[in-house]
Amino acid sequence: MNFGLRMNNRLVMLSAVSAMLFSIPAAAVEIAGVKIDETAQVANQQLKLNGAGIRYKVIFKVYTAALYLAEKKTTTPEVLALPGAKRVSLVILRDLSSDDLGQRFMEGIRKNAEMSERAKLVNSMLTFGQMFSMIPEMKKGDVLTVDWIPGTGVVSQYNGKKLGETIQDPNFYNALLKIWLGPNPADEKLKHLLLSE
């Protein structure tokens, strides 16, 4: 077989392999051993992964966080203004008390919302805080999702089961998003990863 024919056969094979690779759907991202899906179905809307990363406390991995939106956004104001469904999905990476996580959520809201804004969110914060009392302890691998569903409200699920009451205030969902995306985020590096900056 001459050199030109061998090269031609290799090019044909390379083209076939390339075609196969590009026809395979995008695989899920993996972070700290956790599979992060590229899409999420929230109510009747399919959302795309905007970004994902790990929340660290000092040197310890606490959870993975993934943000799903209808379309890609790279700034906090764009995310907050985007209409439609949204999801934040957390996968716990170490055992921790739900009280501890609940307190961190409340602290994150306080750090990123003005006093006047927090005053309007008191009832929603109380309702959301009570949700954590329903889980005695969060184990490694547990999944907490917090969705914004237009026409319904803020819906939380723990390991796939609805948790607590639905909160109908869109401003509260934005306050939750600011825990990770606000001016004083829980983890600065995670903020950039969620925004795919």
pLDDT digits (tens, 9 = 90+) for 120-156: 999 999 999 999 888 878 999 999 999 999 999 999 9
Domains of the chain: 27-194 (3.50.70.10)
- At residue 99, the pLDDT reads 86
Mean pLDDT by 10 residues, the chain (197 residues): 48 41 54 95 96 93 97 97 97 91 93 93 94 89 97 96 95 97 96 91
Q: Which distant-in-sequence residues (6+ apart) come within 8 Å of 169 by Cβ?
A: 121, 124, 153, 154
Tokens 């805080």 label which residue? Answer: 129
- Evaluated on CA atoms 189, 194, 195, 197, the torsion sign reads positive
Q: Whose CA is closest to 90, among 18, 138, 39?
A: 138
Cα 194 to Cα 183: distance, rounded to the nearest angstrom = 14
- At residue 21, the pLDDT reads 38
Buried b (16+ CB within 10 A) or exposed e, 124-163: bbebbeebbeebeebeeebbbbbbbbeeebbbbbbeeeeb
